[in-house]
Amino acid sequence: ECEYDQKTIVSFFKEGDSLHPTLTDVIVFTSTPDKVNNKYYLGPAPLDDMAWQIATAYGPCGNNRDYLFLLAVYLPFLRPLIELN
């Protein structure tokens, strides 16, 4: 959350149920292509350039490479939990 220029609070809904959110008050941090507020924005780039940026970036919250690998490990475990709710 340290380097993003937008913070939004959202709710998530199961497909087919637009009245009862599955998750509420979820904070989502996003970045825009505004180079003043987002100094790390790469812009349209080849996949190799994007991979290099992710692999070598390090910010106030840690190493992006570690975050990406942990995300890849845990997403398969989270999906069944989300689908159950």
Instruction: Give the residue numbers marked as catalytic.
Output: 1
Closest-CA residue to 69 (of 48, 51, 46):
51
Cβ neighbors of 29 (< 8 A, separation 6 or more) are: 1, 4, 6, 7
Q: How many C-alpha atoms does 69 have within 13 Å on its Cβ side?
A: 7
